[in-house]
Every structure is written in C-alpha cells, then in structure tokens.
A and B are shown apart, each in its own frame.
Chain A
Amino acid sequence: MAGVEDTAGPTRFVPGAELTITQAAEFERQLAAAPPGPLVIDLSGVRTIDTVGAWLVHRTLRDRPGSAVMGLGEDARRLVAAVAEADRPCALKAPAMPLWRAELEKIGRAVLAAVTSLGDGLAFMGTTLVAMARAAVSARGIRWPSVSRQLEVTGIDALGIVGLMSFLIGIVVAQQGAVQLEQFGAQIFTINLVGRATFRELGILLTAIMVAGRSASAFAAQIGTMKINEEIDAMRTLGLDPVEVLVVPRVLALVIILPLLGFYASLLAVVGGGLLSWAYLDIPPASFVQRLREVVPMSDFWIGMAKAPFFGAVIALVGCFQGMQVEGNAQSVGERTTTAVVQSIFLVIVLDAFFAVFFTAIGFV
C-alpha cells in the first residue's frame, strides 16, 4: 500500500503496486495529502504503470522542485520520459468572454439570423418557383415519379393518424358544443358548429399541423443528412439541380395532397361529430346530414380548399429550406429539423389568420 515515510531530509513516498489509471484518483489524493516540500517517490515496488501513473510522477517532479524518483523500472522510465515530452501548454476551451458580452452577442446573432433567414427563405422560395417553371417547360418535365413517391409518403401513409385525429376532434367539438348549447335549448346548433368549424378551419388547419410535424421534419432531416454526406454537392457536379430534384417534387406533392387530406380530415371530423350527436343528442344520422346541408354554405368548403395548397407549399418550403441550411454535424440536423417543424406550424397559423381577414375583407363568408 501507498504511504508516506517521514525521515530526515525529503519525504519518501511509496505508491502501491499498481500505478495505473484505475488507481490514479487515489494516488492523486495521497500525493496532495503529502506534506509540502520535495518528495522522493520510490517506484521499486510498482509492478504496472501506465501513462496516467507516469504523468502523476512527472507532475510531482515538476511542481515540487527538488523532488526525485527512485527505483524506476524500464517501463516507468520510458513512460515518464514520454509524458514529460508531451507536457506542453494546451488550451482545452476556447477563450471565454465576459457574460454581458456573450449575451449581447447572442442577441445580435439571433437578430442577424432572423433577418438573413427571412431573406434567404424568400430567395429559396423564388429559386424553387423558377426551378419549377424551368422543369415544367424542359424536355424532361417535372419528375412525376418522385412526386408520386412523396404523395404516398406524405399523404397515403398519413391517412391513419390524420383520420383518427380529426375523428376525435369532431367528437370533442360536438361534445363541448352540445354541453354549452344545451343550456339555451339550442343543441341543434351543434351541427352548425361542427360543420362550419371543420370545413372552414379545423379540418385543414389541424391536418396542416399534423403534416408539418410529420413531413417538414422528414424533409429537413433527409435533405440535411444528404447535405452532410455531400450528396447535394455530388448532384451539382453531375449537372443535377438539387432544388429541382429534391425540393420541387416535395413542394408539388404537399400542394396536391394537403387539400385532399384536409377534405378527408373534415369528413371524418363530421363523422365523429355526427356519431356524438346521435349518441348524446339523439339526432339520427339522416337528420344530421340533412341539417348539415342546410347550414354549411359551399363557401366554407371552398375557403378551406383554397387555403390548403398554400399551407402545403409553406410546409414543404420550410422543411426543404431548413434541410438545405444544415451544415457540419449531426447536431445541426437535429436543430434544423426542430426549426423546420416550429417554423412551418407557426407560418401555417399566421397564414390562416391572414386568410381569415382576407376572406372577410372581400366579403366571401
């Protein structure tokens, strides 16, 4: 076992038989506990030593002038020499700046990033539109197989979850409406509530949010990973335009699929509301449908359908744009994917508010 022997002259220090990384913490504590001043480290009892043990010996010799080491075996001599040679100043962290400056810089960076990404985003939208137009008139045309593949992934594969969600939302809206309207004896207006709210707003909006969560993230992650693997650069060198190959089909797919998904979602929400009305308000399905046709104007349907392609375009553009912004490492893919989902949901809601004001202003209600 290690120990300190206090005799005349420098203190003698005898470490244990194993001077390796597993014993390093213990050895360091013992060295720190040794009385100040020069030490004589006796390694004659050491059987195994590694670079960490050698480093601790070297550090003691360096930090306690006048210290010496005895009983060095061949291994120990070689290792102590090797670590002594490697003892160079080394900055492990980037130089830190004062907190207030760091915070100020963070705010500045965020503002700058917001402004540039707005500009870059608009530029990206323009590039995509140009690429789409160019592809449409080129001999090769739009890449329809790609579009159809994206339609399947973003649309058909989403039918289950979008349908279930809308069905449940229909039930919730009808149930809440029924409870409140019952107080005025106006429970029949539950049908107005369900019909108008879903076709005009909820069906499309919730579908868009679900698609933003599913597909904007997928687009950002796919394109971002391709960017890291230099696949995007490879496309460019092969004369392929990544925007035309990757972005245009995805944008087209969502522009096509979102109205269809939204309509499907609205239908299922109405089914959910209808079932609840039947069970809770005793309105039979036939009467429900009859009343629905009376109270929901065709304009509600058209307003919903008119918004959907724009939502689809925004979701796809944001997802692809964020994917293209990925740089360097896996962490960046994660950050950009998160940003893609947050931004696309946010923009969809902003756009929806804009449409609400717009349709009212032009008197289309």
Chain B
Amino acid sequence: MAEAPRRAAPVVEVRGLVNRFGAQCVHDGLDLDVFPGEILGVVGESGAGKSVLMRSIIGLQRPTAGTIRVFGEEVSPATPARTLALSRRWGVLFQQGALFSGLTVAENVQVPLREHLDLSPALMDEIVAYKIAMLGLPPEAAAKYPAELSGGMRKRAGLARALALDPELLFLDEPTAGLDPIGAAAFDALIRTLRDTMDLTVFLITHDLDTLHAICDRVAVIAERRILATGTIDQLAQLPDPWIRDYFGGPRGRAAARVAAPA
C-alpha cells in the first residue's frame, strides 16, 4: 500500500463496507480514505462496484454493513436530515449529467441555491452567470434547455450545478466518458483548475487512462470486492497483480503514460 501524501484527517473515510444485492456481493469489507485537497481516481472493471461505492458514500444506497464518514460525520440513509445537511457540502456529477430536462441550464444551477439559501434574485443570477463562465460554457448556453446542448456542454452544465453551493468535496462519475479527446482533455484541465481555485477534494470514477495520468494524485483500484491497492500510478504499476499490470501496462495504459510523461 502506498503512503498517503498527507496525514490530515480524511474527508471521506470508508470502513468495512459491505454491499450485497441478493446473492451477489459487490463489496466485502472495503476500506477507503480520501484526503483533503487530493483528486482520487477510482478504477476497476465494469461491474466492480465503483458507482455503488459512490452511491453508498453520498447516501443514496444503504450499505449492508460498514461505516462511512464524510467530514468526520457518519453518513447513513437512516438519518436523512443529517445526510441532507451534509450533502450541501458536496457536489455530485452523475454519468449522464442528470440535468433536469424541463429547466434551462441557468435554472438547473439555481435549483440548489433556491432550495437551500435565502439569496436575493439578483445575486442568484450573478452567481449563475459567473459559475457558467468559470466552467467555460458560452454565455448563450445559460438560457438553453439540456436537450439543446452537446454532450460536453451538458457535462459542464452538470458540473456547474454540482458546484452551485461551493462544495468542499466533489464526486464525479466518469466525467469524460462520451467526450471527444479534445473535450475530455479540456474537461480534465477544468477539474484541475477548479480543484486549485476552489480548494476541492475530488472523488473521481473513471476509465479514462489519460484522465488518471493527467489529474489524479492517487488512484484506488477496486477488485475482488474491496480496494485492492491505492497509490500513485507509478506505485501501482510496480505491483505484481495481473489485473493492475494489464490495466496500466497494456497498450492503452502505456500510450497514456507516454503522453503524460513529458508534461
């Protein structure tokens, strides 16, 4: 196991997580820490339980056993009021963006502001305007409906909504899936810039090796129903596990490493 770069108290602390659906066991005694200010990439085979892990952490999924602490407080669907209060401190970008299709982009971003805070309409409009600009969306996108946007713009709009309340922690589920390489690279750069400006901690599920090399500080590998290993990509690539070797040492992994190396 690689040493975590910081010894600060973890933002997310998962201990002994068990998730079982009928006879199928997705997680069995999974432990994971996410430290403040880092971008943690989570990788694993399709169906290994990456999304289930994320859903468990954000309280959408009741684990069979185990504890999950975020910002030092326990998250559990059993205490909806506390989880709701806690959820204002994190933002989530779902795989398809999950924008409300009946609202414009601006209205989508305003939803959390309207629901949780008592801000003047003028200030809310200004917040939306600068958030949209910060996320690199063109000004005319604000009045459009999600169906009128391209895939990349929809992801950016989803991220704008996730960041509406200025969260400290950001969950991203395959943010670059379905984007063209240029759009994906721009999105990676955006995530990194936002992390640096807004001092975010990022939990990032991805299959995109370029994303892993470009922006992740640490990578956690889910396999065999638990976290098999965590560490930097270089540390992971040294491990003898065949799946990890194939993942980072396969043709795509090597190509991504070559691209990342000169940078």
- From 52 to 92 in chain A, residues with beta carbon under 8 angstroms from any chain B beta carbon are 52, 55-56, 59, 75, 78-79, 82-83, 85-92
From B129, B142, B165, residue with most partner A Cβ within 10 Å: B129
Question: Which residues of A are found within 8 Å of B126, using beta-carbon distances?
Answer: 55, 59
Residue A25 at the chain B interface, CB threshold 8 Å: yes
> Of A28, A92, A328, which one neighbours B120 at CB under 8 angstroms?
A28
Q: Is the CB of A329 within 8 A of B101?
A: yes
Q: Is the CB of B143 within 8 A of A93?
A: yes
Q: Is the CB of B101 within 8 A of A330?
A: yes
**A56 and chain B: residue at smallest CB distance:** B123
Residue B147 at the chain A interface, CB threshold 8 Å: yes
Chain A interface mostly helix, strand, loop or mixed? helix
Q: Is the CB of B166 within 8 A of A21?
A: yes
Question: Which residues of A are found within 8 Å of B123, using beta-carbon distances?
Answer: 24-25, 28, 56
**B112 and chain A: residue at smallest CB distance:** A21
Encoded as 1 (CB less than 8 Å from any B CB) or 0, chain A from 1 to 45 comes to 000000000000000000011101100100000000000000000
Question: Which residues of A are found within 8 Å of B133, using beta-carbon distances?
Answer: 85-88, 90
Given the interface pairs A22-B117, A24-B117, A82-B134, the reply to whether A90 lies near B129 with Cβ below 8 Å is: yes
**A86 and chain B: residue at smallest CB distance:** B133
Question: Which residues of B are found within 8 Å of A94, using beta-carbon distances?
Answer: 143
Encoded as 1 (CB less than 8 Å from any A CB) or 0, chain B from 113 to 152 comes to 0000111100101111111111000011011011100000
- From 224 to 267 in chain A, residues with beta carbon under 8 angstroms from any chain B beta carbon are none
* Shortest CB distance B201–A (Å): 14
Interface size on B, residues (CB 8 A): 32
Residue A50 at the chain B interface, CB threshold 8 Å: yes
Q: Is the CB of A90 within 8 A of B142?
A: yes
Given the interface pairs A52-B127, A329-B147, the reply to whether A90 lies near B139 with Cβ below 8 Å is: yes
A20 to B199, CA, bound (A): 13
Q: Is the CB of B125 within 8 A of A92?
A: yes
* Shortest CB distance A329–B (Å): 3
* Shortest CB distance B169–A (Å): 13
Residue B251 at the chain A interface, CB threshold 8 Å: no
* Shortest CB distance A333–B (Å): 10
Given the interface pairs A25-B117, A25-B120, the reply to whether A328 lies near B101 with Cβ below 8 Å is: yes
Residue B198 at the chain A interface, CB threshold 8 Å: yes
Given the interface pairs A22-B117, A329-B101, A329-B147, the reply to whether A75 lies near B199 with Cβ below 8 Å is: yes
Encoded as 1 (CB less than 8 Å from any A CB) or 0, chain B from 80 to 108 comes to 00000000000000000000011010100
Interface size class of A (residues with CB under 8 A): 20 to 34
**B125 and chain A: residue at smallest CB distance:** A92
Question: Which residues of B are found within 8 Å of A89, using beta-carbon distances?
Answer: 129, 139
A87 to B128, CA, bound (A): 11
A51 to B196, CA, bound (A): 12
Q: Is the CB of A92 within 8 A of B166?
A: no
Question: Which residues of A are found within 8 Å of B104, using beta-carbon distances?
Answer: 92-93
Question: Which residues of B are found within 8 Å of A138, using beta-carbon distances?
Answer: none
Question: Which residues of A are found within 8 Å of B118, using beta-carbon distances?
Answer: 25
Q: Is the CB of B129 within 8 A of A25?
A: no
Given the interface pairs A329-B145, A329-B147, the reply to whether A90 lies near B132 with Cβ below 8 Å is: yes
A93 to B124, CA, bound (A): 13
A51 to B197, CA, bound (A): 9
Question: Which residues of A are found within 8 Å of B128, using beta-carbon distances?
Answer: 90, 92
A51 to B102, CA, bound (A): 27
Question: Which residues of B are found within 8 Å of A25, using beta-carbon distances?
Answer: 117-120, 123
Q: Is the CB of A21 within 8 A of B197?
A: no
A51 to B132, CA, bound (A): 13
Q: Is the CB of A91 within 8 A of B199?
A: no
* Shortest CB distance B74–A (Å): 22
Q: Is the CB of B102 within 8 A of A91?
A: no
Q: Is the CB of A92 within 8 A of B142?
A: yes
Q: Is the CB of B139 within 8 A of A329?
A: no
Residue A331 at the chain B interface, CB threshold 8 Å: yes
Given the interface pairs A21-B117, A22-B117, A86-B134, the reply to whether A329 lies near B198 with Cβ below 8 Å is: no
Q: Give 25 A-B contacts (CB < 8 Å), ordered by A residue.
A: A21-B117, A24-B117, A51-B131, A51-B166, A51-B197, A51-B198, A52-B127, A55-B126, A55-B127, A56-B123, A85-B134, A86-B130, A87-B129, A87-B130, A88-B130, A88-B133, A90-B129, A90-B132, A90-B142, A91-B140, A92-B104, A92-B143, A93-B143, A94-B143, A329-B147
- Contact surface of A with B, Cβ cutoff 8 Å: 20-22, 24-25, 28, 50-52, 55-56, 59, 75, 78-79, 82-83, 85-94, 328-331
Beyond the given A51-B198, A85-B133, please list 15 additional residue pairs across the A-B interface where CB-CB is below 8 A. A20-B166, A51-B130, A51-B131, A51-B166, A55-B127, A78-B196, A86-B133, A87-B130, A88-B129, A89-B129, A90-B142, A92-B125, A92-B128, A92-B142, A331-B102
| CB-CB nearest 7 A-B residue pairs | A329-B101, A86-B133, A90-B129, A50-B166, A90-B139, A328-B147, A86-B130
